[in-house]
């Protein structure tokens, strides 16, 4: 394997007609790290990946791989590996021919091609399927072949374009672990594009949440989850209850439609702010009595989700409903909540975060 390379994008911009797909984007992936571009469709993540791959040329800005400017280099000269959403295996070639394609293009001898191919198929547990055609394999197997085909060329950077999008849920989860394990073992710099927040969180060293061609927030998965900076990030990555209001004179409380809520840190008095509370931080029932919010409500819906139960609770005296999660044993055992139950509720102050609403640009 090559020494892991750094991938750097500096002020990269790309327009399609009047639409700015990628807007002044900066991103650095440290050698051997896996960074996800996470966002809804149309946020510019795929365009960014395609510019790194060389299928699109930025209007301005620089892309460097291992310190070398590749902004205008042809895709086949960049030394990358890529796994496509639909795998893009060559349907007219066998598994062996698909995997050995890279070395063959590089002019490797027949023997070297075969050796490398066998090693790769071994790694993805597909030995014995050399002579099968992609259409004879299951989705998961095709995905492994695609991975082997991308990794056989010892790429400087691995690009994963929604690599698990076509798999069913249980397979997707096991493949997430498998790819992550392989990526860490091979220490291969990787850019993952996904719209699946769970995939991004379980696979990445860092997540870049994108919207409108920009990176809204970049950080480790737990940082982004625990300390979202914007309401978009708070709701896109996991669920969130958002409370909009005006900061009180003391700078420590937020006047909202549901009453005065304590803030986790001081804010400028008199400004608009949004408080974000994760559903699993919301406490329902008697234990909430000691919490500072002093809210109460009525259970509107409850749904059992295996390891936890989700409730929607209508807050007394308002139109607002909030979402709360509870561990399943608490939900099923004593103190389980039924629809219509009146409950006190609240959250520990440190379980809430002040976020920006990009719509207003205010805190």
Task: Provide the pairing of β-strand 19-29 with 7-16.
Answer: antiparallel
CB of 308 to other proteins, least distance (A): 39
- Binding status of residue 102 toward other proteins by CB under 8 A: yes
User: Of the listed pieces 19-27, 72-80, 221-229, 288-296, which binds other proteins according to CB under 8 A?
Assistant: 72-80
- Interaction of residue 153 with other proteins, rule CB under 8 A: yes
Nearest CB to other proteins, comparing residues 101 and 347: 101
| One of 15, 53, 139, 320 touching other proteins (CB under 8 A) | 53
Under rule CB under 8 A, residue 105 binds other proteins: yes
Size of the site for other proteins (CB under 8 A): 24
Q: Does 137 bind other proteins (CB under 8 A)?
A: no
Q: Name which of 22 and 80 has its Cβ closer to other proteins.
A: 80
* CA atoms of 283 and 186, how far apart (whole Å): 43
Q: To 5 degrees, how large is the angle CA 296–CA 297–CA 300? A: 160
Can you tell me the distance from the alpha carbon of 10 to that of 38, in angstroms, rounded to the nearest whole number?
19
321-360: which residues touch other proteins (CB under 8 A)?
none
Task: Verify binding: residue 101, other proteins, rule CB under 8 A.
Answer: yes
Radius of gyration of the chain (CA): 24
> Which one among 32, 75, 238, 336 touches other proteins, defined by CB under 8 A?
75
As a whole number of angstroms, the distance between CA 121 and CA 127 comes to: 5
Question: 68-94: string of b/e by CB count within 10 Å (b at 16+)?
Answer: eebbeeeeeebbbbbbbbebebeeeeb
β-bridge mates for residue 8, sequence order: 28, 64
Please give the residue ranges that form the binding site for other proteins (CB under 8 A).
Answer: 53-55, 74-76, 80-82, 84, 86, 88-92, 101-102, 105-106, 149-150, 153, 159
């Amino acid at each position: 394997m090559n020494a892991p390379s750094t991938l750097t994008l500096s002020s990269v911009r790309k327009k399609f007609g009047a639409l700015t797909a990628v807007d002044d984007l900066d991103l650095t992936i440290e050698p051997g790290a896996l960074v996800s571009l996470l966002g809804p469709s149309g946020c510019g993540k795929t365009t960014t990946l395609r510019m790194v791959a060389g299928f699109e040329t930025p209007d301005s800005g620089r892309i460097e791989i291992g310190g070398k400017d590749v902004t205008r280099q042809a895709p086949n000269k960049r030394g990358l590996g890529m796994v496509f959403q639909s795998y893009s295996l060559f349907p007219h070639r066998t598994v062996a021919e698909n995997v050995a394609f890279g070395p063959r293009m590089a002019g490797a001898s027949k023997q070297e091609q075969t050796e490398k191919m066998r090693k790769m198929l071994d790694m993805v547990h597909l030995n014995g399927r050399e002579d099968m055609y992609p259409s004879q394999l299951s989705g998961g197997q095709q995905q492994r072949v695609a991975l082997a085909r991308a990794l056989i060329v010892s790429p400087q950077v691995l690009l994963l374009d929604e690599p698990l999008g076509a798999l069913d849920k249980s397979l997707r989860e096991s493949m997430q672990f498998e790819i992550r394990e392989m990526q860490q073992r091979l220490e291969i710099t990787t850019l993952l594009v996904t719209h699946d927040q769970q995939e991004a969180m379980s696979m990445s060293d860092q997540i870049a949440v994108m919207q409108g061609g920009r990176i809204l927030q970049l950080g480790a998965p737990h940082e982004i989850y625990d300390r979202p900076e914007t309401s978009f990030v708070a709701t896109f990555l996991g669920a969130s209850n958002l409370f909009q209001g005006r900061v009180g004179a003391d700078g420590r409380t937020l006047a909202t439609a549901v009453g005065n809520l304590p803030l986790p840190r001081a804010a400028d008095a008199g400004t608009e702010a949004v408080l974000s509370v994760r559903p699993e931080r919301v406490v329902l029932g008697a234990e909430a009595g000691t919490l500072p919010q002093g809210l109460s409500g009525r259970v509107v819906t409850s749904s059992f989700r295996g390891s936890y139960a989700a409730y929607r609770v209508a807050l007394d005296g308002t139109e607002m409903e909030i979402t709360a999660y509870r561990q399943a044993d608490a939900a099923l055992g004593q103190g389980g909540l039924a629809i219509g139950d009146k409950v006190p509720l609240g959250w520990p102050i440190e379980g809430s975060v002040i976020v920006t609403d990009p719509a207003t640009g205010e805190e």
